[in-house]
Amino acid sequence: MLSFATLVSARAMARAAPRYTAAFAVASSRHFTMSTRRLGVVKVPEMAESISEGTLREWHKKVGDYVNESDEVATIETDKIDVAVNSPESGVITELYAEAEDNVEVGKDLFKIEPGEAPKEQPKDEGKSEEPKKDEEKSEEPKKEEPKSEEPKKEEPKKEEPKKEPKKEEPKKKDAGRQESEVAPKAGARTESRVKMTRMRKRIAERLKESQNTAASLTTFNEIDLSALMSFRARNKDRLLKETGIKLGFMGAFSKACALALRDIPSANASIEGEGLGDTIVYRDYVDLGVAVSTERGLVTPVVRNVENMGILEIENAITELGLKARDSKLSLEEMTGATFTISNGGVFGSLFGTPILNLPGSAILGMHAIKEKPWVVNGKVEVRPIMVVALTYDHRLLDGREAVTFLVKLKQYLEDMPTMLL
Examine the residue annotation and report whether 400 is marked as an active-site residue of this protein. Answer: yes
Question: Can you tell me the mean pLDDT for 77-103?
Answer: 88
In this structure, what are the phi and psi dihedrals at residue 84, rounded to the nearest 5 degrees?
-85, 130
340 and 218 housed in the same domain: yes
Q: Is residue 297 part of a domain?
A: yes
Distances (CA, A) of 151 to 122, 154, 358: 44, 5, 83
Q: Are residues 91 and 231 in the same domain?
A: no
Read off the amino acid at residue 243.
E
Taking 60 as the threshold, does the pLDDT of residue 74 lie above it? yes
- For the chain, the domain total comes to 2
Residue 304 lies in a domain: yes
CA distance readout (Å), 306 to 247, 287, 311, 314, 356: 21, 5, 11, 11, 23
My answer on whether 101 and 232 are in the same domain is no
Domain final residue, candidates 115, 147, 176: 115
Decide which of 115, 136, 159 is a domain's last residue.
115
pLDDT value for 57: 86
Q: What's the rounded Cα separation, in Å, for the pair 384 and 230? A: 14
- From 17-21, 32-36, 97-101, 269-273, the region with the lowest mean pLDDT: 32-36
Residue 104 located in a structural domain:
yes
The reported pLDDT for the residue numbered 420 is 66
Residue 21 has pLDDT above 70, yes or no: no
Spatial separation of the C-alpha atoms in residues 164 and 277, rounded to whole Å: 86
In a domain, 161, yes or no: no
* Closest listed residue to residue 336, CA positions, set 48, 76, 81, 49: 81
CATH number of the domain that 97 lies in?
2.40.50.100
Q: Assess if residue 265 is contained within a domain.
A: yes
What percent of the chain clears pLDDT 70, i.e. is strictly above it?
74
Its domain, for residue 47, covers 40-115
Domain annotation covers residue 186: no
Looking at residue 116, what is its pLDDT?
A: 84
* 398 plus 299 within the same structural domain: yes
Beta bridge partners of 304: 289
DSSP structure class, residue 334: G
The verdict on residue 413 lying in a domain is yes
Q: Does an H or E element contain 303, and which? A: strand 303-304
Distance (Å, rounded) from C-alpha 383 to C-alpha 397? 40
Q: Which of 248, 218, 254 is nearest to 236 (CA)?
A: 248
| Residue 71 annotated in active site | no
Mean pLDDT for 317-346 is 92
Residue 351 sits in the same domain as residue 216:
yes
Q: What is the pLDDT of residues 385-400, one digit of tens each?
A: 999 999 999 999 999 9
Whether 169 shows a pLDDT value over 60: the answer reads no
Query: Which CATH number characterizes residue 399's domain?
Result: 3.30.559.10
At 185 the pLDDT is: 63
Which of 62, 81, 115 is the last residue before a domain boundary? 115
Q: Report in angstroms the alpha-carbon separations of 294 from 67, 196, 197.
A: 33, 20, 17
**Phi, then psi, of 367 in degrees rounded to 5:** -105, 120
216: in domain:
yes
Residues 225, 108 within the same domain? no
* AA letter at 159: K
Task: State the Cα–Cα distance between residues 219 and 392, nearest whole angstrom.
Answer: 5
Q: What is the pLDDT of residue 37?
A: 38
Which of these is catalytic: 102, 328, 396, 417?
A: 396
- Do both 383 and 237 map to the same domain? yes
Which residue in 125, 175, 328, 400 is the catalytic one?
400
Query: Are 380 and 263 contained in the same domain?
Result: yes
Percent of the chain beyond pLDDT 90? 52
